[in-house]
Chains A and B, each alone.
Chain A
Amino acid sequence: MEQFLGLAVNLGLEGAHRGFLEHWARAGEKDDAFWRGLVRARNHLNAGAKALQHASTLNAASMRDGCDDPLGKAVRAVLEAKHGTADIEDSAFESTHDWWSFCNVTLKVVEAVVEAQDETVRTIKEAIKDARGGGDGADAGALREEEKQTVLAMGAAAMGPLVAQRAQLAKEHQETVQACFA
C-alpha cells in the first residue's frame, strides 16, 4: 500500500530529478541538442512509471509486495536474511518495497529486478509445494529445516544472475542516457 502513497510521489520526484535536472551536471552548452537529449533521456525512464502501474494491479488490495501468500513470504524471508546486506546498493535480495523505496538504482532497472526476484520466489515455492505432495496445506507458510535448506540452495543459484542482471541493466541504462546527449 505504501506504493500508492509513496511510490507515486517518489517516482514523480525521481522523474524530475534523474530524468531531468540531473543532466545539468553534464558538461557542454545547454543548446537545442541538450534539450532534445533531455527529452529522450526522460522518455527512457518510462518503464519506471510502468512499474507503478504494475504495482497497482498486484498490490491494491493485498497491501503486500506482490507475493503475500504465507509460503511466498516465508521463502522471501529466508532469502532476504541470507542475501540481503546492510547497504541495499550491494544487496542481492530485498523486498519489493525496499527496492522501490530505499535503493538508488533507477526504478526502470528496479522493476526488472523485482520481476526476476518474483520469478525466483515462484519457482522455489512450486518446488516446495511439489515436494509436499501438493493438495491442501502444501502452501503453508511454516518451513521445515530441510525446506529452508532447499530455499537456500535454489536461491544461491539464482542470486548470482540476479546481481549480474541488475549491474548489466544499470550499465545499459547509463549508456542509453549518455547516448541521448551524444
Chain B
Amino acid sequence: MAIDAVVYGAGPVGAAVALGLQQRGHRVCVREKRTEHQVVIDAGKSINLSLSTRGCAMLTEIGAYADLQSTLIPMVSRRFSDGSTESYREPLLSINRNLLTIKLIQAAEAAGVKFEYGTGYAPGDVDVATGSVRLDDGLRCKPRVIVGCDGVHGKVAKLINPGEAERSSRASEWGYYELSLPPEATADMSKDVFNNFHIWSGRGRWSAEFIVGLPNHDGSITLTLFALMSDMEARYAAADGGADKFRQYLGEAYEGGLDMLATGIDEAVAGGFHSMLGGALLGGRHSSPPPPPRASAVGTLGGSPHSGGAAVPLGAQWEAEAGATSLGQSCGPCGFPPQASSASGSTITNSWRVSWAAVAPSSSYLATRRSAWSSSWDWLST
C-alpha cells in the first residue's frame, strides 16, 4: 500500500505534522486510538493552551494559522487574584486544546491525510524487521517514516527504545484538574481583566497549590487546579461530603469566591479526580532527581540504520523521551464539549471583550506580529 508516513496520534502535533508531510508530497496515514466520535464530536473536557511565537510559527508553516486566528484570545499579562498584573512582551494566545486539534485534523483531512480511528499502535502492527506497518484494511505498508505523536505513554518511542519504557512512565505526584468559571461568573469583568492569564495562588497551608485560568470565546474561563494528586481523592472523597469540602477548600485557599463561582466541582469529586490522574504531569517534581536526558531519543527500525524506515517521536512523546515534563500534549480524556459552534469570531457573545478577529494580522503571523504588537498596545482599546 502506498503510504509514505504513518503518524501515531491525532493530537495537535500529530495532526499538524501529518498536514505538513502531506503538503510536502507524502501520502500520510494517521492512526489514533480514540474513536472519531471521541476526537472530533465529544472530545471531552480539555485544558486550554497558550500559544506563542514558536507554536504560531509551526501553524503558519503549515498554513493553519489563518483559520485559527478567530479562535485565539490574546492574554496580555499575568493577572493575579489580588488584581496585580505583570505584562507580557506580546500577548499569549489562549486556545482550547480540543478546538486546536479539531481544526488541524480538518485541515489535514482536506489536504488528503487518511485518518484511522479506534486503532492506535498495537503489538504486531509494526514489523520491526522490515519497518512495515499494518493498517486498518489489514494490508501492510512500508512507510519512509513512522512518527510517534501518541503522547507520553505512547508506544512508538518504546518500540524504538524498548529499554527505555520506564522513562516515559515516570509520573510526578503533581497533577492538574479542570474546573470552569462560566460566562455568567465573568460577565462583570471588563476586557482589561478578562483578557489575561489568570493566577490564583493558594493561601496559607495551601501555598504550594494554585489555579490558573485561560479565557474562552464564550466568556468562560477554563480553570486548571494544580495540586498533589495523591491528596485529592482522600481529601475530598465523594462518600464523605467531598464536594462541600472541595468548595470549602476553594474558598479558604483562593481569593475571588471560586467556591461559589467555579463549576465542575461535583463532577471532579464524583469522578474521584480520575481526570486529574489522567492528566498527570510527567517528569517534573520527582522525589528523586530525574534521569539525565538520552543522548539519542530516536532510532531506526529494521535493525540497521540503512534499512530505511526511520521512526521519530514528536510532541509529548519526544519531550518525555528527552526527560521533559509534558503537559498540554497529553491531557488524556478530560468533559469540555468541543466549541465548534463558537469557533468563529462572529459568535462571540461578549462583544466588549477583545475580538481577536479585529486585531489579528490578516495573513502571516510572523510577517506582521512585530508591527502589530511590539510598538504599542493601542489595539487593546479597539
User: Using a CB–CB distance below 8 Å, which chain A residues touch chain B?
Assistant: 1-2, 4-6, 8-17, 19-22, 24, 30, 32, 35-36, 38-39, 42-43, 46-47, 49-53, 55-57, 60-61, 63, 86-88, 94-95, 97-98, 100-104, 107
Contact = CB atoms under 8 A, between A and B. Distances in A.
Candidate in B147, B149, B294, B296 with the most chain A CB atoms within 10 angstroms: B296
B61 A53 contact: no
A32 to B, nearest CB: 5
Which applies to chain B's interface (DSSP): helix, strand, loop or mixed? mixed
11 contacts: A5-B327, A10-B52, A10-B54, A12-B319, A14-B57, A15-B318, A42-B312, A50-B323, A52-B319, A63-B199, A94-B89
A36 B305 contact: yes
B197 interface: yes
Interface in B134-177: 144-145, 147, 149, 174
Interface string B285-306: 1000010011011111000011
Interface stretch (B11-19, B256-264, B335-343, B354-362): B11-19
Given A8-B328, A21-B20, A94-B89, A87 B374 contact: yes
A5 B49 contact: yes
Interface string B305-338: 1101010101110110111111111000000000
B212 A15 contact: no
A36 B207 CA distance: 48
Given A38-B310, A88-B89, A52 B324 contact: yes
B293 A20 contact: no
Interface centre among A21, A22, A51 (most CB of B within 10 A): A21
Contacts of B58: 13-14, 16-17, 21
A60 B323 contact: no
A82 to B, nearest CB: 16
Interface string B78-102: 1000000000111010000100000
A6 B100 CA distance: 13
A97 B293 contact: no
A6 B284 contact: no
B284 A53 contact: yes
A100 B54 CA distance: 8
B47 interface: yes
B312 A5 contact: no
Q: A13, A35, A52, A55: which has the most chain B beta carbons within 10 Å?
A: A13
A51 B207 CA distance: 25
Given A13-B55, A52-B325, A2 B50 contact: yes
B117 interface: no
A5 B224 contact: yes
B370 interface: yes
B283 A2 contact: no
Interface of B: 12-13, 16-17, 20-21, 24, 47-55, 57-59, 61-62, 78, 88-90, 92, 97, 144-145, 147, 149, 174, 197, 199, 201, 207-208, 210, 212, 214, 224, 226, 281, 283-285, 290, 293-294, 296-300, 305-306, 308, 310, 312, 314-316, 318-319, 321-329, 370, 374-375
A14 B55 contact: yes
B374 A61 contact: no
Contacts of A63: 78, 199, 201, 210, 212
B247 to A, nearest CB: 23
Given A63-B201, A101-B52, A104-B53, A13 B13 contact: yes
Lowest 9 CB-CB distances: which A-B pairs, in order? A56-B284, A49-B322, A101-B52, A6-B50, A17-B58, A13-B58, A56-B325, A10-B55, A10-B54
Given A14-B57, A102-B53, A5 B212 contact: yes
Contact of B328 (A4, A15, A97): A4
Contacts of B145: 35, 38
Contact of B285 (A12, A32, A57, A101): A57
A168 B120 CA distance: 42
A75 to B, nearest CB: 16
Most central of B24, B52, B199, B308 by chain A CB within 10 Å: B52
A95 B48 CA distance: 23
B210 to A, nearest CB: 7
B61 A5 contact: no
B88 A97 contact: yes
Nearest to A17: B58
Contact of B59 (A8, A13, A39): A13
A57 B287 CA distance: 11
Given A6-B92, A53-B283, A12 B329 contact: yes
A103 to B, nearest CB: 7
